Amino acid sequence: MAHPAEATSEHGPGVGHVVPIRTLLGVLAVLLVLTIATVAITLFDLGRMNIVVALAIAFVKGALVLLYFMHLRWDRPFNAIVLVSAILFVVLFIGFSLLDTFQYQPEVIPGYAPALEP
Amino acid sequence: MRTSETQLGAAGPAAAPGPSRGDDYLRHGTGIRSWLFTLDHKRIGILYLVSILSAFFLAGMFAVLVRTELLTPGKTIVDADTYNQFFTLHGAVMIFLFIIPGIPAALGNFVLPLMLGAKDVAFPRLNLMSWWLWVTGAVLSVASIVIGAVDTGWTFYTPYSTTTGQKGVVPIVLGVFILGFSSIFTGLNFIVTVHKLRPKGMTWFRMPLFLWAIYSTAVLQVLATPVLGITVALLAAERLMGLGIFDPALGGDPVLFQHFFWFYSHPAVYIMILPAMGVISEVIAVFSRKHIFGYRFIAMSSVAIAILSFLVWGHHMFTSMSPLANMLFSALTFSVSIPSAIKVFNWLATMYKGTIQLRTPMLYALAFIFLFTIGGLTGLFLGMLAVDVHLHDTYFVVAHFHYVMFGGTVMAFLAGLHYWWPKMTGRTFSEIGGQWGFWLVFCGFNLTFFIQFLMGSRGMPRRYYDYLPEQAIYHQISSVGSYLTAVGFFVVAGCLWRSLRQGAPAPANPWGGNSLEWWTPSPPPHDNFAETPVADDPYDYANWTYDPALGGYVRPPGRPA
């Protein structure tokens, strides 16, 4: 809690930062719009950009949930560090595993490696 | 206690200063419920201790059965399928039920709040839940033996584990899933406790090194264990519903399972060894009667090991990965040896010109340094790609990880158990009995496993039921060693059991340590400390002097004691 004193006086002890209901509803609206956008974008074939756009929208949605619904925006920076390092570990894990998979894929099925096709 | 060790052990009825013995945690409540539903970290530590020692006994029996089957080529006592189940259960029970929770959950639970001068861990109920989850996971895992014992090896590699008719796979991986949560809860609890409950005077760099080790372990438990949960959940789903993530017939990738599994299980190796290193840092300094050498280096090397442990999982898969990943993982693997070596050198430097007392805990600690060094250096052979091709899946690997896990972690666990035994039970144990136990375990261990380096480098594959006649002599020496080790463990158990029945009351500070757990009576009162202590340098032993009448160390009058 970034403002323990404030939290205690306004909302009683043991209650953290409270996000105004308007903000929550606003974020919810944005999330719904982005969900519709995710579906709508599938109507257009963007080639290789399909996955990039879909993941970009998902990233924004995830960030909104973390920042507002999970209060990270008002939390101590330490919690943000924990989150970022957890994401780095996921990137490390998936990155190395995929790197390996792509590397040995041609050996597994000689001459047939759809994942590596341009 | 025995008359033979009047010099240090026989304390007589004299107790430590502080609250009376009547209110110690062992007598604070009576009845089975007061134990099974206790929120006291000390009692939960004891519950864990009894539980993991039961698991250790079970898994140890499987080890003896495995070694007995291997006494002669071909069938000795059981058929090949039963043998496969024996070594699988030996591995799975040892790893998931004993060695992972071993030092953190049993010794750590007992000692960590005491070292912090705290009344308890941050979340006592979560702590109790963690133990109950352990029990639930253990029951499920062991129940798999009845349903249909698995023979996949403790690693549950796919597609073998998902496509063969083994009924026990689902219960045992569900058990592992639940045990994972037990481990996560313990880790979470310890992280918060170390952050929030440090006493006055204890800055981060004045924490006992055991706490640094437990803290680093806890970070690993929280970060890595969820991946194990995902992995075994996917495995169960694959088996029950045919998801096809790991099954090549359904477009899956079995090597992906190995990536998933080792992303947890390599850090888990450090979940097993880091707390052990913490115990050694305490014991070496206390029994050298000298301030620990290189405090910050030992503390930071624990953190470095925790971080580096996430970068090396691929070295378990050198024969199944691509050349590029192999090169990266091989290079990264060598980096872990740096912080490990830093620790060993600092322990040696601590002993240099110290007043070394060869008591039972110190003997185990010295054995740890010796055996861990062998285990660590043989790891370099395996981390090297060209050599690993020859040694992969041979007894050389078996010997290597037993030198690290048994020679390292179990030795340190025994060091810690003997070191904190007087604090936990309020009883001193027979030094002679303790040392007999040590030498038997030490000799038995080396007899069992050193020969396996030779066996492995001469091409004996691991897990095999049968072998060529020229390998027989190695196997027989190894099996005899395992019997000697078993006898050693019975001596250790007998010595400790006897101390419970007949041991003299332990003084508050039998070894002369200065971390806070030695500032309260043995066994500690329910609330740990009569008043909240103020911490000073945990490795400054100068103010403690030995009192032969008490059989322990005291602070001269005029100082707080």
Q: How many CB atoms lie within 10 A of CB B537?
A: 16
Instruction: Nearest chain A residue to B309 by CA: give it.
Output: A89
Tens of pLDDT, residues A59-76: 999 999 999 998 888 888
Residue B398: pLDDT over 60: yes
Give the integer Cα–Cα distance in Å for B381 and B301: 22
Work out the average pLDDT over B349-374: 97
With cut-offs at 50, 70 and 90, classify the pLDDT of residue B556. Answer: confident
- Tell me which of B227-236, B243-252, B420-429, B513-522 is least confident: B243-252
Asked if the Cβ–Cβ distance from B324 to A101 is below 8 Å, we say no
> CB-hemisphere CA count at 13 Å for B457?
11
Give the count of Cβ contacts less than 8 A between chain A and B. 38
pLDDT at site B477:
97
| Residue to test with chain A: of B246, B257, B259, most A Cβ within 10 A | B259
Query: In Å, how far is B517's CA from the nearest CA of chain A?
Result: 30
pLDDT at site A14:
57
Residue A116: pLDDT over 60: no
The angle formed by the CA atoms of residues B184, B104 and B222, to the nearest 5 degrees, is: 20
With cut-offs at 50, 70 and 90, classify the pLDDT of residue B370. Answer: very high
Where residue B31 falls (left for φ over 0; alpha for ψ -120 to 50; beta otherwise) is: left
B204: helix, strand or coil: helix
Which range scores top for mean pLDDT: A18-22, B64-68, B142-146?
Answer: B64-68
Looking at every residue in chain B, the average pLDDT score rounds to 92
Q: Which of B190, B47, B21 is nearest to B118 (CA)?
A: B190
Which residues of B, range 251-270, sit inside 8 Å of A by Cβ? 253, 255-256, 259-260, 263
pLDDT at site B63:
97
Tens of pLDDT, residues B172-215: 999 999 999 999 999 999 999 999 999 989 999 999 999 999 99
Residue B44: pLDDT over 80: yes
Which residues of B, range 312-351, sit inside 8 Å of A by Cβ? 314, 321-325, 328
* Residue B443 token pair: 């000799």
Percent of chain B with pLDDT over 70: 95
| Residue to test with chain A: of B322, B326, B327, B328, most A Cβ within 10 A | B322
- ipTM of predicted assembly, 2 dp: 0.75
Residue B334: pLDDT over 90: yes
Give the integer Cα–Cα distance in Å for B26 and A108: 61
How many helices (H) and strands (E) chain A has is answered by 4, 0
- Tell me which of A3-12, B56-65, B126-135, B358-367 is least confident: A3-12
Residues in CB range of A17: below 8 A, 6 or more apart: A1, A2, A3, A7, A71, A74, A75
Asked if the Cβ–Cβ distance from A89 to B256 is below 8 Å, we say no
Per the CB < 8 A criterion, the answer to whether B269 and B309 are in contact is: yes
pLDDT at site B14:
38
pLDDT at site A109:
57
Contacts of B325 in chain A (CB under 8 A): 96, 99-100, 103
Tell me which residues of chain A have a C-beta less than 8 Å from any C-beta of chain B: 86, 89, 92-93, 96-97, 99-101, 103-104, 107
Give the integer Cα–Cα distance in Å for B553 and B16: 10
Alpha helices in B392-471 (DSSP H): 395-404, 411-425, 431-457
- Given the structure tokens 């970068």, which residue do they identify? B311
pLDDT at site A80:
87
Work out the average pLDDT over A16-41: 91
Residue B343: pLDDT over 80: yes
DSSP state of B513: -
CA distances in angstroms from B143 to B137, B169, B340, B399, listed in the order given: 10, 11, 38, 29
Residue B330: pLDDT over 60: yes
Rounded-to-10 torsion of CA A71, A74, A76, A78: 50
Helix orientation angle between B254-288 and B323-351, rounded to the nearest 10 degrees? 10
Tens of pLDDT, residues B465-498: 999 999 999 999 999 999 999 999 999 999 999 9
Work out the average pLDDT over B350-359: 96
Asked if the Cβ–Cβ distance from B322 to A86 is below 8 Å, we say no
Work out the average pLDDT over B434-447: 97
Query: In Å, how far is B316's CA from the nearest CA of chain A?
Result: 13
Asked if the Cβ–Cβ distance from A89 to B223 is below 8 Å, we say yes
Q: What are phi and psi of B270, to 5 degrees?
A: -80, -25
CA B325 to mean position of chain CA atoms: 30
Query: In Å, how far is B374's CA from the nearest CA of chain A?
Result: 30
With cut-offs at 50, 70 and 90, classify the pLDDT of residue B252. Answer: confident
* Residue B395 token pair: 């007894």
Tens of pLDDT, residues B55-98: 999 999 999 999 999 999 999 999 999 999 999 999 999 999 99
Give the integer Cα–Cα distance in Å for B280 and B287: 10
